[in-house]
Amino acid sequence: MKSLLLAAVVAVSSPLNPEALQAAIADLDHPAATSAQLRVSGSAGRWYGAEGVADLGTHRRIRPDDRFRIGSVTKVFVATVVLQLVDERKVDLGTPVQHYLPGLLPPKLEPVTVGQLLDHTSGIPFEVGFPDLSTPDKVVAHRYDRWTPEQRVRLVPDTTAKFPPGTRQEYRGINYVLAAMLIEKITGHTYGHEVETRILCPLRLTRTYVPALNETRIRGAHVHGYLEVPGRGRVDVSDYNTSISYGEGDMISTTGDLTRFMTALFDGDLLPPDLLATMFTVPRVSMVDGSPARHAAGLQTATINGVELWGKTGEQYGYNAGMFSTRDQQRRMAYSFTPTVSDSTQQQMTLRIADAVTR
């Protein structure tokens, strides 16, 4: 064990390779993408690079403070606020969410604790009645649909859990829709207000925000996202209503703001040690496919080139983003790219970035 840990430290402490980092984001054909940017920081070195353009119409180059949709990285902000409420003794991780939100979930569903929402061990069954977004043209057709979180939760069928809560892990967005609703019930404010007052303002994350339910445009200078639609070419989908992803994937940020948030979070500026530890504690269960669990409260973990990373990935149509760091913050990374096809080929860019950062 000692030799393995030493190998990981040596790997992450090695100097950054600017050529390898630029090469990781330079290939905009694999996957098909219109732009990519990467920010690396930490005690082992700093680097920033970008490829492609922020806007195909104007051919404007990407600027470091350009906003983009961060998708499921939103969950880290939500988990942080919930854990702050736990610290304030307003929420208990072991108490069923049904206690705080009575009558919201179907009556046949077993009690699901707040902690099981945060680490995706709730077993809540898949929602029934989602709009069909299986093809790019259908995505574009539904781009302005407006959802409330209550409408989303009403799609949960009145059945028992997929597995006894706490016994398996299955990554589910509905867990964080409920977590956001919990924040609102306890505080009397929108989850966006709580994220702003508890995290964004104190850390001066001025380029990050939670959009309103009816807000479709990204505020200020931003990177445009596109989808390749048969017969129409690349369609700009940066103007999009993400309310269906309320609390689980609707926030907007920059690589700089994500880096500052991650730094403060890992430094313990936002949570006391015992609650911060829950974000780095993966439950001792298996994923539903039998693989080891990899999600904690808000964060996920991956080991690349022997280096253990903690953070979160995120997707929205036309966007892919992520932020990760070693626990000791020797090396951090925040990235964003704009894939034009919504499929598994997006992993090619993510894996190249992770390899270059940890090599």
Query: Catalytic positions, please?
Result: 72
Kindly report each contact of residues 325-328 with a partner whose C-beta sits within 8 Å and lies 24 or more positions away, as own/partner.
325/42, 325/262, 325/263, 325/266, 326/12, 326/42, 327/266, 327/280, 328/43
Query: Buried b / exposed e across 26-42, counting CB within 10 Å, b at 16+?
Result: eebeebbbbbbbbbbbb
Tell which residue, 81, 21, 18, 15, has the closest CA to residue 44.
15
**Angle, vertex CA 55, rays to CA 51 and CA 60, nearest 5:** 70
| E strand segments, the chain | 33-41, 47-55, 60-61, 68-69, 168-169, 226-229, 233-236, 252-253, 286-287, 300-304, 307-316, 319-325, 332-339
CA distances from 208 to 79, 84, 205, 218, 251 (A): 16, 19, 6, 11, 7
How far is the C-alpha of 114 from the C-alpha of 250, rounded, in Å?
21
